[in-house]
Structure 1
Amino acid sequence: MPLTKENLQSVITIAQTVLGRMPDKSKVTTALIAEKVAMAAALISPEGLDEMDERAATDELVRRFSSWIGQDSTLQNQDGHIAWLDASRQKDWRYWQRYREWSERKMSTAAVDALDRSTNIILSNLEDPKRTGAWDRRGLVVGHVQSGKTGNYTGLVCKAADAGYKIIIVLAGLHNNLRTQTQIRLEEGFLGYETSGIREMGRIIGVGEIDSDAKMQPNCATLRSDNGDFNTKLSNHLAISPEERPWLFVVKKNKTVLERLLKWIKNRVADATDSTGRKFVSNLPLLLIDDEADHASVDTGEQLFDAEGMPDEDHQPKAINSRIRKILHSFAKSAYVGYTATPFANIFIHRRSATLDEGLDIFPSAFITNLAAPSNYIGPARVFGLRSTDGRSGGLPLTGPIDDHVDKSGAGWMPVKHKKEHVPMHDGRDSVPPSLIKAVHAFILACAGRACRGQRGEHSSMLIHVTRYTNVQYEVYQQVQGLIGRMAQRVKRQIDHEELLSDLRELWETDFIRKSIEIQERAPDLMGSSTIATWDEILPEIPNVLNDIDVRMINGTAKDALDYSEQEGVGLKVIAIGGDKLARGLTLEGLCTSYFVRTTKMYDTLMQMGRWFGYRPGYVDLCRLYTTTDLIEWFEHIADASEELREEFDAMAASGGTPRDYGLKVQSHSVLMVTSPLKMRSAKSLQLSFSGQLLETVALHSTPSVLDRNLAATNTLIREMGAPTETSPRRTRNGAPTEWTGSFVWTDVPGEIVADFFSSYSTHPLARKVNSSMLADFIKSMNSEGELTSWTVVLVSGGDGASYTFDNGIRVEHMLKRTADRDKNDHYSIGRLLSPRDEAIDLHEPEWRAALDITLRAWKPDPARQKDGSPPKNPEIPSGVAVRQVRGMGAPGVAKPAPERGLLLLYPLDPAKAEADLFDGWTAPVIAFGASFPSSNSGQKVEYKVDHLIWEQEYGAAD
């Protein structure tokens, strides 16, 4: 007899506790897990487990005990901070203890231990709430999209309350549904009861089931209902005294709500006045948590600064930013912690921005913590893979490209640019395109497949995100609701159902079964012992799934968020149709299928729209993402850019960097689409620096006229450099020789010759980071400072391509092979150009070892940055970040700073080895390059002109 979901969870918890006490976790085998599951089941139910429940419990524990957790890293500024958090302060912390026990019901012990460590680091970077006098700490926590940031700040709230913070404000998005979702999560993890009224407790839930002592139950000034935000009626009757238990406020980022909260603080809580007459709270320490901190919180107005860098105190910040800052400024003791997966807008905040009324802006001056993810997290690297010299590798086969949402004229069902009056029509009919029908079929099959695996009672969701306009969403809602209704009737009445079932069977057998087997082979850590059902097992589930599916518009009301909790144990099966309300923060439980054709290309907006990242225990192989090839390319690009920025972050943390250092690095990063120029307050231009960066051409022209121009630029460079310094260079690496057979090296090449090469070379417009004319300008700018004046240039050989003779008799015996992406037929698109060892070719052995030491000190294993879930090995070669640091900044005892040393790597690619019909008879080399710029403190930048209109046309609207 199947157990209830609650009893099944108890079985898992008991078995995990027993297994967790084993000193040697390597002895926890699948057989031992199954044995302990049976033992726990006997305690819960005399009848034990049925076969499906036993397999589900065992699979869950196998996943928990086989996962590993990455390491966080932190940049911090300790100015004015007094260290305070030690073991003695953590004795008898009851809020945290009950949250820990409750979390262990859903997570592995290792994951909860990691949460404990992570929240300790964050809390320790805040101020001791018992510290006397005035203080202010502002920080930022950066997590991965849909990776568990809410769980992290819930743990932080519990510990902050234990430590003595009295007022805790959580800013939870812009819409009611997200605020309510956050309220419910905090009721489960912190309050321990449902909110039914101010000072009125509803049903005991979550942590309250572990410890419901009335003496420690926090107060809450907001409710889970649709109108449960902080309101006027409540504010008129609410008073707080310092001896009471902590108060929680979960509020929207809404001007009216924040203004109401601010007035209440001034009129009801403030107990002191400063010399200007400003009221403030002197005795109650405040913790303000800003969820999705890059969204709405950032002041997009442009504040002026004088010649000394002092801010204009009369500047008027935007409404929400102003209220957040005024709330913080109303407390003598305050701590601000922003949470986001896309921190770029926050980094662009000027660190000295301040006004009289608002005080300092919310730049995270005290710390930035980069959260790692557990190995069962499925992020961009797992979905889209990472670049390699053989193209992209490691991505799971979950994406399905679509193009029938528009017709050849650019019109059709959902054109890229449409108005709010648009009526979606496919082939002139009021219907959805075939790709959306296929996506709906995939969702039906995913629900049926999960039922066959014992996940019948779990939530399953489908996302349809095709327009930001509510009117157009309603039209899509009507179409999809009609589609589901007709399918259900055909199957129920057994009338005209054969074609539908035939289509479903074909999709299951040709797509799902094949890909499930592939994912089981490539990512066994995500699958456990999950097996793929046969069609005969799937077929009986289809009628139930069709009857259970609820098509829903997500319009920002609280009801959308509440449905999951109301269907707990039964499992909601929902198709969610929405736009901006779905783009930020809102969690779609059990998201299986996504249909996505929004067109923004901004890093932060696009990442936030990626609701399909997260955790898919036991059903990742049933998930599908249907989107355009263009958006797949952009997601691939931001997966690479994200890895690059996190690598930079870890290197800075290892070298003792501060948030300001990271801000300067991100501001000068050459990925131009990181965030809206409004959020950067740089509407007219971007100031870019390439110092400390590697740029490589991975999008190349394929037309002979441009290829000829680039080959001519290379021949001119070779002639001007003269005879090579080395042929087939040899270097010692870890005591062993390494050779670049057939390659040529020139040293001490003047910077102006390299700049001329870039001026003559034509980079492809889709080489987003690499603009040859800007590189030429940057080198000339650095030359004026005495930097980038002496280059090493390498013509790389050693592939398996044909030979080619350049000018001066320079003959490459074997051009290199880089396979083309066959989905890109308008240009030559490759994965990685550089082989990892090449960037250090100009380092001598002591410099190379110094760079490897820096790499090992900075190295933080993070599963979200892996293309598979296996624990990574320690690096055996230096990272590019470390190589550029040693080259430019030097290393004690082995290298002097040499910011004049640039490295240009020329790669002659054999078009015959591209494995694509792109080149129209061109047989000479396709010249690609990598430019490695040493780290520098000169601050030289080049200007990139842009205005809001051009930006929006190129990258799409901001969120």
Structure 2
Amino acid sequence: MTSPEEIAAQLELLENVIATAQRLVKTEKDKSKVTPTFIAEKVRLAAEMFSGDSSFIVDQEKVVATLIQRFSHWIGKSTTLKDNAGHFDWLTATRKRDWQYWRRYEDYLESKLSDIVVEGIDEATDDILGLLEDPQRVDDWDRRGLVVGHVQSGKTSNYSGLICKAADAGYKIIIVLAGMHNNLRSQTQMRLEESFLGYETTIDRDPGMPIGVAEFGEDLKTNSATTRAENGDFNNAIAKHFHGISPEERPWLFVVKKQKSVLTALLNWIQKRVADSNDASNGRKLVTKLPLLMIDDEADNASVDTGEQMFNDDGTPDEEHHPKTINSLIRQLLHAFSRKAYVGYTATPFANIFIHHKGATAKEGPDLFPRSFIINLAAPSNYVGPARMFGKMTKEGRKGALPLSRNIADHYDAESDSGWMPPKHKKTHVPTYKGQEIIPPSLNEAICAFVLACAVRELRGQDGQHNSMLVHVTRFVDVQNHVREQIEAAVRRMRQKITRRIDAQEQIEQLRNLWEHDFLPIRDEVVKLSPVEDCPPEMPSWDDILAVLPDVLNDIEVRSINGTAKDALDYATPGAVLKVIAVGGDKLARGLTLEGLCVSYFVRTTKMYDTLMQMGRWFGYRPGYLDLCRLYTSADLVKWFGHIADASEELREEFDFMAEAKLTPEQYGLKVMSHEVLTVTSPLKMRNAQTLSLTYSGTRPQTILFHRDAKIQQQNLDATDTLIRSLGNSWENSPKHDRDGEPDSWPNARLWKDINVSDVLTFLGAYVTHPNATSAKSVLLSEFITKMVGTGQLTKWSVALLGGGNGVGDQHEFPGGEPSSSYSIRKTEDSVDPERVDQKSFAIGVLTDPKDEGIDLSDDAWREALALTRAAWKPEPSRGRTSLPNFPSGKGIRETRGRLGGDVDRGLLLLYPLTPHFYKEKTPERLIVPGWSKPIMAFAIAFPSSDNPISVEYEVNLLYWMQEYGPSE
């Protein structure tokens, strides 16, 4: 059996050959010559160079495959919103000439990534650093920004590069706020040891073994006040041994948790030992000689002043993680420096945008609103994000989803509100399936899928890489331990049967069935949906799988991840190749990377979009094994993730348009707050949570939350009939437009143009929206339109009634037309969210078809909208963007809408009759609204973008939010 030392030596040899061959390939300036044959020749040369240093034989085919992938990947351009008030441009080529930290890190990255991706990181970090201030600038300055990445997309690589460049430029104190738990802090410390320090930290804080960048340059004698150990965070005991820091010294690194005691100790130490001056106005201690860079990893978690009390498992208040306290301490740390830069990193920026940007205090200084800049990072072409995982909404419906999700329902019995893992349970819950303390069949199948994935990866030559499975079903540690024990028992039974060949036939048949009916056909489907360079390799034979199963099962371990540092350390042990089933809750939810994640089993109760997105550990990079990955989760969560993918994409697209228009972060903030779907973050993160200020300009509010009350449905149908009657009979029937050879048509729809705003206001006055809707509120919409009319805007409208769907319901004759029994909304039953149906309300996930906003656009206006869409567009495969769009986005149409009909900006009201049945069966018990079998009327409004938008305010119902979406976790 191969020892861990031998495995480590083999991996080191392989990495050396890959790095050397990559450098040889990069010397070729003519990229057209970089063919598979050319790469293979350089690999042969590199292997020969190392052949005398080792008794191991390098698998040259594996090296060639790795390099072909690296040289075919690319990364798009990041986009930026900025406010340069008080800022001086300073980052020049001359300034960067002798940088050593960055040069080491760049060489280190190039040994692992394609040079194109490294160039992308170089360019993005230059952009960020340039928006910070020159650390050599001696007067006071304060820059605050936000970098928006993608979940599991390499944010750490980006901020590692930023830290290296900041150290080269002259920043002296670098504080990294690394999550709320020991495992993430320890993992971040280790990453920065590899990318910045160049050595392993030890208990006594002396440099240990050289690692990472140490191989690519001299030891730069960088200081670290924190270590990789479980207790390696900053504390009062450490503070006693540290004295002040001299401006001449190399920079000091602090990797700390967002925890009250840690941040308090750091603040006290800075004020007592580092401060060199006093503020003239109030006498507070101030550091004037040492410029500060603070990196806030997962900046939307705990840093935002939500006023929301966190609780321990036993129900007691968690004072260490009180967001108000954490926010205050972070701001006080920044406020203790006269020269400082704060950069938040997040994949879910929704909470950060809600920070009140005028919340300054004398003690804490300004709040953390990213007023200086927001940068939207592009992900490399091989990143698998929400758009690839769950598909993208197009005018033909959702397209392009990877076939990797598996619906589960056996974890919960809805009728008895019980089962193995019901959505709401206590910390004393004992998971049982059909009365026994065993896992449900779906989790058993997920474990079988993980075993097969490990076996295939081994046979594909990925035997030196980690494999992980995530089980994420409860936030309570005690319940997690029950789950771990049950999984251990299941794995043990499987191991005994397969390795000893005792009663193994049924187990082998289960695995073979999954292999033949799932793994083999899914590999072929993933090939069709993947670019050539990222196609998964061929599958091995079943006999080969059978041969390696005993070894695979012997290697699998089951672990609880409860926030201790050792959970993160195991991946870094030299020579250790893990096959681990990780059982966890909140500690797994944020930041912690699970190496080689193949299978996820995911059941959650929270519906807050930012929380759900952060739990998407399955996003990321899956080179050579994407086809083996599986997500076992409930059908409604897959649907919700689809909505999230659409909403996030819409927000990023809004960002791209605003960057093109050179707007500022504050102007973007108002847009985020107006988004119908993405306000589904904890309303407490809106800080001044009771009042939400928004503008509808350039947005498309839509009704997605409805009353389950037949009287209200009758009132809304009457309001629609009254409106249609007032519009008269001069409608365009079944509108159709040429659209440059790809016609758009709306069968059974009616379109009225040049409608007076008073008709729209009358309709909104009579239509009853749900009081807990976020932005599609008829009273607010009326107020906004009335205010805009007062400034000469939104006086003319188009109205469309969209029929012709394939739902069912009783006939209803709209004024002036034939009876209709066929209602709109692409099968409403697919959109009603069963998790969001209660006694009084129901919700759907999506209402409008993307093309509907263009129903009243002439072909010339449509082309203008397409041109605007393309101008703001950039290629980014992770967002489903690989070729120029051939139809305009909703945002492009709304930008154009202000120019319809000469200088008249025109609103569009879209009316949707929805099928009143959950499913196609036309039976009373399937009615969405009890006693109501006529169409349920919904609407959306496409508002043109305005150069002079008006804001309106409304009260947020916090009680509703907490009941509907649960507490933030």
Judge same fold: TM > 0.5, yes or no. Answer: yes
Q: Which residue of 1 aligns with 2:240?
A: 236
The alignment status of 1:531 with 2:538, answered yes or no, reads yes
2:355 partner letter: I
**Counterpart of 2:406 in 1: which secondary structure?**
strand
Worse-matched range after superposition: 429-438 or 686-695: 686-695
CA contact (8 A) 1:907 1:928 kept: yes
Worse-matched range after superposition: 871-880 or 702-711: 702-711
Q: Deviations over 1:774-805 (max 9, x none)?
A: 65665566556665442112345899999998
**Matches of 1:317 and 1:372 in 2, distance apart?**
30
Q: Which residue of 2 aligns with 1:256?
A: 261
Q: Which residue of 2 aligns with 1:885?
A: 895
CA contact (8 A) 1:704 1:919 kept: no
Q: Which residue of 2 aligns with 1:857?
A: 871
**Matches of 1:359 and 1:935 in 2, distance apart?**
35
Equivalent residues in 2 for 1:713-728, closer than 5 Å: 713-724=719-730, 726=732
Q: 1:521, CA displacement in angstroms?
A: 1.9
Q: Which residue of 1 aligns with 2:957?
A: 946
CA contact (8 A) 1:184 1:224 kept: yes
Would the alpha carbon gap of residues 765 and 135 (structure 1) be closer, same or farther in structure 2, given more than 3 Å must change? closer
Q: Deviations over 1:723-773 (max 9, x none)?
A: 326557677867999887876432232334234445666889999875667
Equivalent residues in 2 for 1:678-689, closer than 5 Å: 678-689=684-695
Q: 1:6, CA displacement in angstroms?
A: 1.9
The alignment status of 1:291 with 2:297, answered yes or no, reads yes
Would the alpha carbon gap of residues 231 and 925 (structure 1) be closer, same or farther in structure 2, given more than 3 Å must change? closer
Q: Which residue of 1 aligns with 2:50?
A: 44
**Matches of 1:40 and 1:97 in 2, distance apart?**
23
**Counterpart of 1:807 in 2: which secondary structure?**
coil
Would the alpha carbon gap of residues 845 and 228 (structure 1) be closer, same or farther in structure 2, given more than 3 Å must change? same
**Matches of 2:710 and 2:70 in 1, distance apart?**
54
Q: Which residue of 2 aligns with 1:310?
A: none
Q: Tell me, which stretches of 5 or more residues in structure 1 are unaligned?
A: 303-315
Equivalent residues in 2 for 1:474-553, closer than 5 Å: 474-525=481-532, 527-528=534-535, 530-553=537-560
Equivalent residues in 2 for 1:839-854, closer than 5 Å: 839-843=853-857, 847-848=861-862, 850-854=864-868
1:5 partner letter: L
Equivalent residues in 2 for 1:386-425, closer than 5 Å: 386-407=392-413, 408-425=415-432
Would the alpha carbon gap of residues 4 and 918 (structure 1) be closer, same or farther in structure 2, given more than 3 Å must change? farther
Q: Which residue of 2 aligns with 1:311?
A: none
Q: Deviations over 1:913-936 (max 9, x none)?
A: x99546879999887654211224
Q: 1:133, CA displacement in angstroms?
A: 1.1
The alignment status of 1:658 with 2:664, answered yes or no, reads yes
**Matches of 1:59 and 1:598 in 2, distance apart?**
38
CA contact (8 A) 2:831 2:845 kept: no
| Number of equivalences | 932
Q: 1:387, CA displacement in angstroms?
A: 1.6
**Matches of 2:909 and 2:776 in 1, distance apart?**
13
2:425 partner letter: H
Would the alpha carbon gap of residues 691 and 424 (structure 1) be closer, same or farther in structure 2, given more than 3 Å must change? same
CA contact (8 A) 1:387 1:831 kept: no
Q: 1:410, CA displacement in angstroms?
A: 0.9
Instruction: Choose which of 808, 812, 815 in structure 1 pairs with 2:816.
Output: 808
Instruction: Choose which of 438, 442, 445 in structure 1 pairs with 2:445.
Output: 438
Q: 1:301, CA displacement in angstroms?
A: 3.8
Q: Which residue of 2 aligns with 1:306?
A: none
Equivalent residues in 2 for 1:861-876, closer than 5 Å: 861-866=875-880, 872-876=882-886
Q: 1:497, CA displacement in angstroms?
A: 2.2
CA contact (8 A) 1:670 1:689 kept: no
CA contact (8 A) 1:816 1:909 kept: yes
**Matches of 2:463 and 2:406 in 1, distance apart?**
26
Instruction: Choose which of 456, 459, 473 in structure 2 pairs with 1:452.
Output: 459
Would the alpha carbon gap of residues 880 and 389 (structure 1) be closer, same or farther in structure 2, given more than 3 Å must change? closer
**Counterpart of 1:645 in 2: which secondary structure?**
helix
Q: 1:422, CA displacement in angstroms?
A: 1.3
1:955 partner letter: Y
1:873 partner letter: S
Equivalent residues in 2 for 1:51-62, closer than 5 Å: 53-62=59-68
**Matches of 1:656 and 1:203 in 2, distance apart?**
48
Equivalent residues in 2 for 1:267-306, closer than 5 Å: 267-275=272-280, 276-301=282-307
The alignment status of 1:227 with 2:231, answered yes or no, reads yes
Q: Deviations over 1:541-580 (max 9, x none)?
A: 22112211111111111111100001x4441111111111
Would the alpha carbon gap of residues 691 and 418 (structure 1) be closer, same or farther in structure 2, given more than 3 Å must change? same
CA contact (8 A) 1:686 1:946 kept: no
2:878 partner letter: A
Percent identity at matched positions?
54
Worse-matched range after superposition: 824-833 or 535-544: 824-833
**Matches of 1:706 and 1:538 in 2, distance apart?**
60
Would the alpha carbon gap of residues 738 and 323 (structure 1) be closer, same or farther in structure 2, given more than 3 Å must change? closer
Q: Deviations over 1:814-839 (max 9, x none)?
A: 99783566696979999976565542
**Matches of 1:736 and 1:457 in 2, distance apart?**
50
Equivalent residues in 2 for 1:308-707, closer than 5 Å: 318-407=324-413, 408-525=415-532, 527-528=534-535, 530-566=537-573, 568-671=574-677, 673-695=679-701
**Matches of 2:580 and 2:742 in 1, distance apart?**
59
**Matches of 1:457 and 1:238 in 2, distance apart?**
41
Q: Deviations over 1:855-893 (max 9, x none)?
A: 333222222211xxxx622334433223223434x59xx
Q: Which residue of 2 aligns with 1:105?
A: 111
Would the alpha carbon gap of residues 587 and 279 (structure 1) be closer, same or farther in structure 2, given more than 3 Å must change? same
**Counterpart of 1:550 in 2: which secondary structure?**
strand
**Counterpart of 1:678 in 2: which secondary structure?**
helix
The alignment status of 1:34 with 2:14, answered yes or no, reads no
Q: Deviations over 1:504-550 (max 9, x none)?
A: 12112211111111111222447435111222111122211221111
Q: Which residue of 1 aligns with 2:752?
A: 746
Would the alpha carbon gap of residues 419 and 830 (structure 1) be closer, same or farther in structure 2, given more than 3 Å must change? closer
**Matches of 1:279 and 1:49 in 2, distance apart?**
61
**Counterpart of 1:360 in 2: which secondary structure?**
coil
CA contact (8 A) 2:81 2:373 kept: yes
**Matches of 1:456 and 1:634 in 2, distance apart?**
35
Would the alpha carbon gap of residues 951 and 836 (structure 1) be closer, same or farther in structure 2, given more than 3 Å must change? closer
2:246 partner letter: S
2:206 partner letter: E
**Matches of 2:576 and 2:878 in 1, distance apart?**
31
Would the alpha carbon gap of residues 330 and 55 (structure 1) be closer, same or farther in structure 2, given more than 3 Å must change? same
Would the alpha carbon gap of residues 953 and 52 (structure 1) be closer, same or farther in structure 2, given more than 3 Å must change? farther
Q: Deviations over 1:373-420 (max 9, x none)?
A: 011111111111112343321111111111111123011111211111
**Matches of 1:56 and 1:662 in 2, distance apart?**
46
Worse-matched range after superposition: 47-56 or 291-300: 47-56
1:951 partner letter: W
Q: What is the RMSD computed on CA atoms of the aligned residues?
A: 3.6
2:816 partner letter: N
Q: Which residue of 1 aligns with 2:826?
A: 818
**Matches of 2:904 and 2:146 in 1, distance apart?**
32
**Matches of 1:220 and 1:521 in 2, distance apart?**
48
TM-score where L is the length of structure 1: 0.89
**Counterpart of 1:378 in 2: which secondary structure?**
coil
Worse-matched range after superposition: 498-507 or 54-63: 54-63
Q: 1:944, CA displacement in angstroms?
A: 5.1
Would the alpha carbon gap of residues 405 and 850 (structure 1) be closer, same or farther in structure 2, given more than 3 Å must change? same
CA contact (8 A) 2:751 2:856 kept: no
Q: 1:905, CA displacement in angstroms?
A: 3.3
TM-score where L is the length of structure 2: 0.88
Q: 1:285, CA displacement in angstroms?
A: 0.7
**Matches of 2:776 and 2:62 in 1, distance apart?**
49
